[in-house]
Amino acid sequence: MNSFKIEELIDKLDETIENGKRTVFGGKIAVDEKEIHAIIEDIRLNLPAEIKNARGIVEDHNNIINNAKAKSAEAMKNAQEAGQRMVSEASAKAAEMTEKAKTYHAAMIAQADEKAKAIIDDAAARAEKMVLEHEVTRQAKIFGEKVRKQAQEEAAAMVEKAKMQADDLLTSARQQAEDTIVKAKARAQELKTNSEKWAFDLRSGASSYAEEILRRTDSALVNSVNEVRGALSSVQAAKDSNTPPAAEDSEN
């Protein structure tokens, strides 16, 4: 209800202002002052409870802000005191840790010195051993060079001896080859002579055999001819004995 009343009062205020008379100079409006104050008072009287409560809230808000500022200042003070205590404690711990670090550092340096001394002693021993080994190596190199030189000389002598033996073998092989060639030529000549003699004997034997065959053939042929002639003579004789005389036949 109050909200509708306020709207009516605002409309009435607006209407009063519009119905006011404008002045000639300055563009201002002349209104009834009492009427305006009466309308404003009615608006105040009809304001809702929420607006009145809002004023209390604003006042409470200011109180809350003030209390928050006070608590914040107290918290800052407490934080500063706590920070100072923490700084003091941290400084004490840092001093303690620094002292421990110094002690540990001193112990580490002592251990490092001992290890370094041990390493140096070991290096010196190794160096001395290497010097001895180097001397042994040097002697071994000298002996190796001597052995190598001796081996080269022996190898050269063996090569020279092998060359001489190879030359002897080559000469002997050539001589044997020449002897073999001479013997082969003599054997070939002998075989040729024997072959020629055998061929001559073969030809002579064949010629004699052929002549003997011809002679025997001629003899057999003569005998055959004589036998044929004898047979023909016998046939003719037999024929003559079986034929009568021609005169007697004519007389009869």
Q: Identify the pLDDT of residue 28.
A: 76
C-alpha 58/C-alpha 43 separation (Å) is: 21
pLDDT digits (tens, 9 = 90+) for 61-85: 777 888 878 887 888 888 888 888 8
C-alpha 211/C-alpha 25 separation (Å) is: 196
Kind and range of the H or E run holding 30? strand 29-30
Q: Identify the pLDDT of residue 251.
A: 45
pLDDT digits (tens, 9 = 90+) for 22-43: 776 666 777 788 888 888 888 8
Residues comprising the chain, all counted: 252
Question: Which residue ranges in the chain fall short of pLDDT 70?
Answer: 1-4, 24-27, 48-56, 58, 239, 242-252
In our burial notation (b when 16+ CB lie closer than 10 A, e otherwise), range 153-183 reads: eeeeeeeeeeeeeeeeeeeeeeeeeeeeeee
Indicate the pTM of the whole model: 0.28
Q: Identify the pLDDT of residue 242.
A: 63
